[in-house]
Amino acid sequence: MQPVMIPVPSPTRQPERWQTLWRDAVRDPVELLRLLGLDALAARLSVPATAQFPLRVPRGFVARMRRGDPHDPLLRQVLPLDDEDRLVPGFTLDAVGDAAAKGGTGVIHKYEGRALLIATGSCAIHCRYCFRRHFPYAEETAAAAGWASALDALRRDPTLHEVILSGGDPLSLSTAKLAELTGALRSLPQVTRLRIHTRLPVVLPERIDGEFLDWIGALPWPVVVVLHANHAKEIDAGVRAACAALRARGVHLLNQAVLLRGVNDSADALVELSEALFTAGVLPYYLHLLDRVQGTAHFEVPEAEALALRAALHARLPGFLLPRLAREQPGQPGKTLY
Ligand SMILES: *Cc1c(COP(=O)(O)O)cnc(C)c1O
Ligand code: SF4
């Protein structure tokens, strides 16, 4: 199963502009290559990989790619090439142990004090390296069950101070749906912080519209939004405007990136990413080592090389622009830090 559902506006309302842009995403790899003047690359597309996890990329994100460049770091994140068909030992279907942690409610509670809520399985973009490409979130999302079982699970645990909306991409839900959840969360006295993990402000910044800003600005808790950008070229004027609007509502902005071969595996690329984030008012949080997920081996940067990159960044960046190098390992009390 893969994140393929699209948000359905209620029948009485016109779709929001962002929802129209969402639906208009490029979904045909051949069309994507044509838009970029890269028709010759079509021979390297993978039919099975596309069937397993379809291409999806908003047109505004395509516009940030360089025409005629088969190595464009944004293109590489979304294009289903035949590299994905290689079976590599150690690259499995559930690399982070989520299947073992799921409770049937859309809530994953692995770390003390904070629980991750799989709000929805949908994403505006399909990232080829993502572990969720193999995870059956369509059956496991909290929104699908009307939030009720997720809220029950949270209510039962008075130690859960931080609720993390994740997915899929939680901002693929309508603002009304999000408001339904946060309305219910207000009745849980133990909740003192809300965190949202989302790639939407980066890949479809139009999502941060007036209705959304009104909702997020009125929440009763401090809010942290953890964005996901992997390369400085993802951060354009539209993204900076969305970030500025969020900051004006008091939202704390962080970024997590994944260290990816051919995307951001150089000190220059990572320095530029940190600088671009800072310009947008975002601080780097994690730089994740790749989850060893089937079909993603060609993205892996070995640990020794990652450590060398970290040392290079340390020498070039102020401490507050240095992301924590981390990996998700099953059974650990938190992310493994390097
Ligand atoms: C990554 C993760 C978190 C958040 O970890 P932080 O170190 O607080 O960012 C929480 N729950 C789960 C299941 C996670 O995978
Ligand atoms: S990285 Fe995020 S946005 Fe991309 S496919 Fe995975 S969950 Fe969706």
127 lines ligand 2 (CB under 6 A): yes
231-290 residue pLDDT tens: 999 999 999 999 999 999 999 999 999 999 999 999 999 999 999 999 999 999 999 999
Peptide linkage before 295 cis (omega within 30 of 0): no
Task: Give the global pTM.
Answer: 0.94
303-316 and 267-279 are packed helices; what angle lies between their axes, rounded to 10 degrees? Answer: 50
Per-residue burial over 46-73, b if 16 or more Cβ lie within 10 Å, else e, is beebbebbbbbbbebbbebbeeeeeebb
Q: Phi and psi at residue 252, in whole multiples of 5°?
A: -85, 130
HSE at residue 37, side-chain half, CA atoms within 13 A, is 7
Residue 140: the pLDDT is 67
Q: Which of 123, 165, 204 to mutate to test the pocket of ligand 2 (most atoms within 8 A of CB)?
A: 123
Q: How far apart are CA 274 and CA 231, in angstroms?
A: 9
**Is pLDDT above 60 for 338?**
yes
Distance 311 CA to ligand 2 centre (A): 28
pLDDT band with cut points at 50, 70 and 90 for residue 137: low
50 Cβ contact partners less than 8 Å away, ≥ 6 residues apart? 29, 80
From 102, 164, 283, the mutation candidate for ligand 1 (largest count of ligand atoms within 8 A of CB) is 164
Asked whether 123 lines ligand 2 (CB < 6 A), one says yes
Q: Go through the domains of the chain in sequence order and give each one's CATH number.
A: 20-85 (no CATH), 99-337 (3.20.20.70)
Give residue-wise pLDDT tens across range 79-96: 999 999 999 999 998 776
Q: 328 or 14: whose pLDDT is higher?
A: 328
What token pair was written down for 252?
């704390």
Per the listing, tokens 């809530």 go with: 107
Q: Which listed ligand is nearest to 135 at the C-alpha?
A: 2
Reported as a single tens digit per residue, the pLDDT across 2-32 is 555 555 555 566 788 999 999 999 999 999 9
Task: Tell me the per-residue pLDDT of 154-176, one tens digit each, with 9 for 90 and over.
Answer: 999 999 999 999 989 999 999 99
CA distances from 242 to 57, 125, 149, 239, 323 (A): 19, 17, 32, 5, 22
| CB atoms inside a 10 Å sphere around CB 276 | 20
Q: What is the pLDDT of residue 1?
A: 44
Instruction: Compute CA distances 9 → 18, 175, 206, whole Å.
Output: 11, 10, 16
pLDDT in tens, 43-58: 999 999 999 999 999 9
Nearest CA to ligand 1 atom 9: 335
169 lines ligand 2 (CB under 6 A): yes
- What number does the ligand 2 atom closest to the CA of 258 have? 1
